[in-house]
Chain A
């Protein structure tokens, strides 16, 4: 079948819709779960559990959100890129900021033979972009530009903010599950009519975190496609990005040990093996790009 050509603008819009839809699913799980708990435990319990969950989750994530740029850079041991040493890196990003109308991000380099890059920061004003030494060595100018444009695409669509929001909700659901399961130990008396809701509640407490985790990963993959489409919007040259992806495919390097699971979704291509769910497969990304 002849693949249909897709304008990158439509691609971006579609991905945004999909992400929104997935967010709605998480929210629906959240509400439904809360409702079941209120039926099973009585309303007093329900409020206590919800409030604790909300405070913990938001508190934890706000701290990491406001420091997202520093945390990401520090966790992989990246160093600030020197302008004289990395002239091409700087000039490519400067060009892309003109193409995208964004402020200049802070640029970092991390030691690694892998071809990779990531972006972080809560908004374009606090953005950081980091590439590996491997990427700077192995990619040519247009390929590197494609990779950097992809990272700026994440910054431009406020992906850090969005993924933070998702993480808050996923975290709340996980906390609620924990509290609910533990509180069952302290229940006194057994009213039979509530038993059914307690069973439903237990099933949900086990399943809900898994479901929202899967949805979270699906959102993360959608954002990768969106960032690829944004990269094309900035450079108007999908081949740069396609060639970079092909090079990554051929490049055989050890999975990065210093990259923790928490920062893996930020990267250009998956830095870890076996945790492929944060990124779509390279083949899929290439075929999406070839259709633009």
Chain B
């Protein structure tokens, strides 16, 4: 009789362990999806700030057509991009184009002193930080998921539930610098 109870107890424990691991995969998987959407949110926020910036810059520096166009194009590319890798690449282009605009602004004292412009500049740089943080959290989430997938006893359950390691978001240095604006 006692043995029966011990067996039942052990059975319950085993079932619980299966549940726990199933849930851990679910939770960590959700965290990855959520952090991915956070990247999209921040990128959209960044794209939304651009038209306002262009209007302000146009008011003071009409002649800088090439630089303005580079920013508008980069924004279009960002809005149109599918998938997170492409979007992040487009965002990097946008970042370079913006750097040019801000460098040009140095030559226009009125623009440089414009509060609206300063505010936008600040906002844009802080959203850039957020994009970086969102990407970092995304990769961190993948790290914890992958650690669970390849260490024991997680690896056993990963196989059982058909969970595979996920890929990191990789943006190479070359892709980051692929922008040149001609004057």
Identify A91's interface contact among B34, B126, B136, CB under 8 A: B126
A101 adjacent to B137 (CB under 8 Å): yes
Interchain pairs with CB closer than 8 A, number: 27
For A236, the chain B residues whose CB sits under 8 A away are 136
For B38, the chain A residues whose CB sits under 8 A away are 98
Q: Label chain B's interface by main secondary structure.
A: helix
Most buried by A among B35, B122, B136: B136
B137 adjacent to A95 (CB under 8 Å): no
For A94, the chain B residues whose CB sits under 8 A away are 130
A99 adjacent to B136 (CB under 8 Å): yes
Does B60 lie at the interface of the complex (its beta carbon under 8 Å from any beta carbon of A)?
A: no
Return A279 CB to nearest CB of chain B, in Å: 27
B133 adjacent to A96 (CB under 8 Å): yes
Does A100 lie at the interface of the complex (its beta carbon under 8 Å from any beta carbon of B)?
A: yes
For A91, the chain B residues whose CB sits under 8 A away are 126
As a 0/1 sequence over residues 117 to 160 of chain B, the CB contacts with chain A under 8 angstroms (1 = contact) are: 00000100010011001101100110000000000000000000
For A98, the chain B residues whose CB sits under 8 A away are 38, 42, 130, 133-134, 137
| Pairs A–B under 8 Å by Cβ, sample size 27 | A87-B122, A91-B126, A94-B130, A95-B126, A95-B129, A95-B130, A95-B133, A96-B133, A98-B38, A98-B42, A98-B130, A98-B133, A98-B134, A98-B137, A99-B133, A99-B134, A99-B136, A99-B137, A100-B137, A101-B31, A101-B34, A101-B35, A101-B137, A101-B141, A233-B140, A234-B133, A236-B136
Q: Interface of A with B (CB < 8 Å)? A: 87, 91, 94-96, 98-101, 233-234, 236
Q: Interface of B with A (CB < 8 Å)? A: 31, 34-35, 38, 42, 122, 126, 129-130, 133-134, 136-137, 140-141
5 pairs of A and B residues whose beta carbons are closest in the complex: A99-B133, A98-B133, A91-B126, A95-B129, A95-B130
